Chain A
Amino acid sequence: MIDQTAVEQDYQSDRESAPGAPTLRAVVGSHRIEEEMFGRVFDPQIIRRIGAFVRPYRRQFVISVVAVLVFTVTQLAIPMIIRRAIDKGVMVGPAGMPVLYQSLVAFGIVIALNFVASHVQETVVGKAAENVLFDIRRAMFAHLQRVSLSFMDKTEVGRLMSRLQGDVGSMQEFLETSVLSVGDIVLLFGIITLMLYLDPGLGLITLSVLPVLFVVRIFWLPMARDAFIKAHETNSAVNGALAEGIHAVRTVQAMGRETLNAQLYDAKVQANLATHLWAAKLAQILVPVVDTLTGLAMSLVVVLGGSMVLDHRLDVGVMVAFLFYIQRFFDPIRSLTIQYSVMQRAMASGQRLIEVLDVAISIQDQPGAVDLPETDGSVEFRQVSFGYEPNQLVLQDISFRVEPGQTVALVGPTGSGKSSAMALIHRFYDVTEGAVLVGGHDVRQVTQASLGRQIAMVLQEPFLFTGTILDNIRYNKDSASRDDIIAAATALGADPFIRALPQGYDTMLGERGGSLSTGQRQLLSFARALVADARILVLDEATASIDSATEQVIQRALAILLRGRTGLVIAHRLATVRHADKIMVLQAGRLVESGTHAELLREAGLYAGLYRANYASFDDVG
């Protein structure tokens, strides 16, 4: 989703404006990365896909369409009743009394129907629309749980969130109004029919003003469309910048960028304002046209209809009814115009929602995938090559085998591919070549669920969720009791600091565990992995932010825990890794050495070099 070229162009234009002069290298909010676009008004593809979410509620929608029709008919009936009351009742004099009363009764019934219909329609459609929206959001969320990590790596959380919230929101407006549009169209045709029925001649003359409106709209639409697109685009720019300002606030303050950022943000907000004012102008330009046409139609009725009444060719009640209908006539046209832009927006949003739902699930259980049986916990790489981008291999031709119960350490410079190799065991990504085997099974041939149960990981960046400490350690291991959790924390030496917190294990953590030090967060994510109780434990620089004394406590806990389990450990502190059963040294994606600590020192290769870098200086002093 990141379009580098578009960004480059943004830059180029910045640069060219000031050749040689110092350049301001600052933006707020990410660049316009994905084209914000407006959909076609009516995109059958999108309608069909969204329609699938509406299907479960089709009964509700049918009911509301019926209710809307009833409602519309009552709307149409009211002037007819008034006309009858005037022509056959009021104008006839006292003899017309019964007709007046009949009309009043009819009026009462119509009112009651109108009330019930609008109540049913608004309630049913309002609730059904909410249901559809929540269903769509749920489907998207569920889908995102399954799409590959390589997609998630490239996609900002903020962008996904704006689809999950903003775009789902604009579908709401659409769903609620789409039923009303049905009513509007029916109303429009109903009025036309009734006018022609009441008096074809006068009806035709009145309707003759309509073509003008259509001509005007032909010119207006493309302009308005452009304006709305622009306004929409600048909105996302402003919102993106605000979200960034909030997420990055600590960095902004630390770097003293408040003033400049406020200026840059101001520029974005002003640009947004300008596009909105332009769009507002365009949106309003039709109003006087419609009103003038309404006026014209009414004057025609007044002059022509009035003369006809005078000539006794028309009942005065019909003239009254005409005047009523004309005033109601332009309402549906107006709201259809509004709904047109709602629909446009909804199509664009629908498109973005469907894009999310359509992200290919590149990693999924194969048709014949079996549950990985309780394995011995062995891990094997067979000539594995892997790259995030097909042409840029991060791992090349890696082969090794970890016997059940062994602890193996991975060392190597940053960026050498250690984390990537670990990610392959869990099948976060699929290998480009070769195969990764867990317990003798190719990870691609077993179900992800069963694979996931056998592996626990402690990642480089400890991530905690909003919730209590207890919830965080338990995470999805619902069977873990409070005692299990406390036992895990105690084994890792985390118990004392947890108990020192205001509510102990029930202390609520702030966003991402912000009220804890990084080392403490790492301890908790350790405890979480212990409680998960898996056959294979992967530690990715899990002790980097922890001092050696605490680390030793962890090592002891692990020694007990790893008994009978397989451990894969990435670390930079060589003291951490040197008593591993096997040490593997990665460099630039290749496995360059492997063996025990003693063997590798004898080889005098990269490991020996790293080892000396760690200790040579101590040797100087000591």
Chain B
Amino acid sequence: MTPPNFPIRRPLEVMAIDDAKSWRAGLITLWRMTRIAWLTPWQVTFALVATLFSATMQLIIPRLLGRAIDQTQLFASDPAAAKSALMATAVLVLIVSALRGVFTTFQNYFSEAVNHHSGVELRLRFYEQVQRLSYGFHDSVHSGDLITLGLLDVDGARQYFSTGLNRLVLLTILIGFGGVMLLRIDPVLGLMSLSFVPIVGWSSSIAQLRLRLTWRDLQDRMSVLSRVMEENLGGIRVVRAFYAGAHEQEKFDKASDSALDLAHERVDIRVRSTGIMTLSFLVAMGLVLWVGGAKVMAGQMSVGTLTAFLTFMTILQMPVRQLGLLVNSFARTSTCGARVFAFLDLDPAIADAPDAKVLTLTDGVLRFENVDFAYPSAPATKVISNLSFTAARGQTIGLIGPPGSGKSTLSHLIPRFYDVTGGRITLDGQDIRGVTLASLRNAVSVVAQDVFLFTTTLENNIAYADPWAAPDQIEQASQHAQIHAHISGLSRTYRTIVGERGASLSGGQKQRVAIARSLMPNPAVLVFDDSTAAVDANTEARIRTALQKGAADRVTLIVAHRLNSLLHADRILFLDKGHVIEQGTHAELLALRGRYRALYDLQTHGSDREAAQ
């Protein structure tokens, strides 16, 4: 038995993300995240200032406590004086602690706020970029991978300020200033109590590199796992039809196990580095106790100073543990951030030209002039070759041809979902690449072959292109698409929610909702890409009649396989492998006795003949 073979390839590899091996890329990412954080300069400043103060307060506390201990020793001869001195220290301890609390609050709140603002910024940019990138890009990525990027990676990157930058500042102050303070009190003991810092630094750097790599790989494997789950749920009817539950479970297990392995590895790396950090800290503490204790015994140091050293180290214990988190945070930001920025930096293949003008429609003439086209993913394979035709307002052009002959491709070129690779397409003499996308797409409406309906009400779906439409406009479009009667029969009529991909409508009903949706903007060019395939002949005839009225004002392109859908076309193009091999009216094509005629015979008499055999 061959194991199920599905790819564990790197998702989003099209983006050619620089890998974790490059430190520079990581630094650039951090720099860019810093700039995004700086979009809210006040919050950043407040956070940093509050951090400075809270760290200072934190440093003062051990000194105060040490002083209290000394006061119990030095003033032993004068208890009264000692007690009032202790009272003063106690008040200071209280005030400093309270202030520390207040500043910590500000520090945490503002750095959280910066995180959220960075998140908002990244999310909005991400969303806009998703909508900006053209079909060619979306063809090349799996939507699940994009979702992972938009949720997990954005989330990983946005936490940079509080978990990374601000914490770095805090730790630097605590360890730096604290260190200077301790060194001034007692250089030897100071050095000892700080001896854990380089070890921690070293082990964090190692861990950072490795975590970054595993984090990235884990993310990739989780993407694969998500993809398996998502396709399974999306294609559940196929899974059920083939009773392939076991097969799917096997695919799932394979993806799941490989992700689990890596998740375990990540735990190991994390534990190893935090373990070393804590250990080196405690060893330093033991050293301080040893040497400090000896010094106190020798009378070279007060017991209060020793307490201050030890307290200071206790206070440092949290930040030292946090060094691990800091490492994690930088690893996460540079990995996630790099992926997000790589995505945000992509230029859409199709965008408004710098001097793009608004499309002006006069005669409504659509013209293909020697159009060539190859998909970006397969530049060598021409899907459309040297195709020319002209269609004037009021005309209907029929397109027919075997699967893969380029009919859908052709219809996708008109609204510039893809750009032609040769020749040009014009509307009223204006090259469509020279006009704004908004105006072009407003004028061109394509009823796509695969219908995507939004999970919302039917009226929201139908009014998608024109959300300010009045109810009677919506109703009229539905009437033309022969779906009004069905909708009226539903208990909530136009307010019925249709599910994802319109699960509770039959195939033909979905197609008719899509047709109604495309009629709303009243387009100058209307393309039906095989959009009545699931509609029966009677209903289709009624749709055609209803559309006849508006047809005088527009160019209509119909891709269809049922010949009577094309019967009334002014011209029919027969496509094969991207070439027009026959064209003319129905009668002309019949007279030609070519491929079209053969289809016609098949659809009318062919099977009779076959049955007779």
Contact = CB atoms under 8 A, between A and B. Distances in A.
Nearest to A455: B241
B346 to A, nearest CB: 14
A93 interface: yes
A141 to B, nearest CB: 5
A30 B275 CA distance: 46
Q: Which of A296, A415, A525 has the most CB of B within 10 A?
A: A415
Contacts of B417: 250, 253-254
B72 A306 contact: yes
* Shortest beta-carbon contacts, A-B, top 8: A295-B97, A519-B403, A452-B243, A291-B101, A414-B508, A288-B101, A476-B247, A299-B90
B500 A413 contact: no
B603 interface: yes
Interface stretch (B79-87, B168-176, B207-215): B79-87
Contacts of A277: 112-113, 116
9 contacts: A7-B497, A27-B460, A285-B105, A298-B61, A298-B65, A299-B91, A328-B314, A413-B536, A457-B242
B551 interface: no
B201 interface: no
Query: Is chain B's binding surface mostly helix, strand, loop or mixed?
Result: helix
Contacts of A419: 506-507
A547 B401 contact: yes
Given A248-B454, A256-B465, A310-B79, A466 B142 contact: yes
Given A86-B306, A415-B509, A614 B86 contact: no
A546 B402 CA distance: 7
A134 B260 contact: yes
Nearest to B564: A617
A497 B404 contact: yes
B41 interface: no
Contact of B249 (A142, A249, A253, A327): A142
B16 interface: no
Nearest to B403: A519
A390 B96 CA distance: 70
Contacts of A292: 94, 97-98, 101
B360 interface: no
Interface string B440-452: 0110011011101
Contact of A548 (B117, B535, B603): B603
A448 B496 CA distance: 34
B120 A270 contact: yes
B131 A249 contact: yes
Interface string A531-555: 0100000000100111111111001
Interface in A137-152: 137-138, 141-142, 144-146, 149, 152
Contact of A122 (B96, B271, B441, B539): B271
B146 to A, nearest CB: 5
Given A30-B456, A144-B233, 6 more contacts: A111-B279, A152-B236, A164-B226, A258-B128, A289-B101, A298-B61
Contacts of B608: 578
B533 interface: yes
B270 to A, nearest CB: 7
Contacts, number: 553
A516 interface: yes
A127 interface: yes
A250 B530 contact: no
A123 interface: yes
B364 interface: no
A509 B468 CA distance: 39
B130 A246 contact: yes
Nearest to B234: A157
B526 interface: no
A115 B270 contact: no
Interface in A102-159: 103-104, 107-108, 111, 114-115, 118-119, 122-123, 126-127, 130-131, 134, 137-138, 141-142, 144-146, 149, 152-154, 156-158
B68 A4 contact: no
Interface in A283-328: 283-285, 287-292, 294-296, 298-300, 302-303, 306-307, 309-311, 316, 319-320, 323-324, 327-328
B98 A295 contact: yes
B602 A548 contact: yes
Given A31-B456, A463-B234, A518-B449, A523 B286 contact: no
A239 B606 CA distance: 54
Given A145-B239, A258-B131, A258-B132, A247 B452 contact: yes
Contacts of A285: 105
Interface stretch (B2-10, B28-36, B384-392, B424-432): B2-10
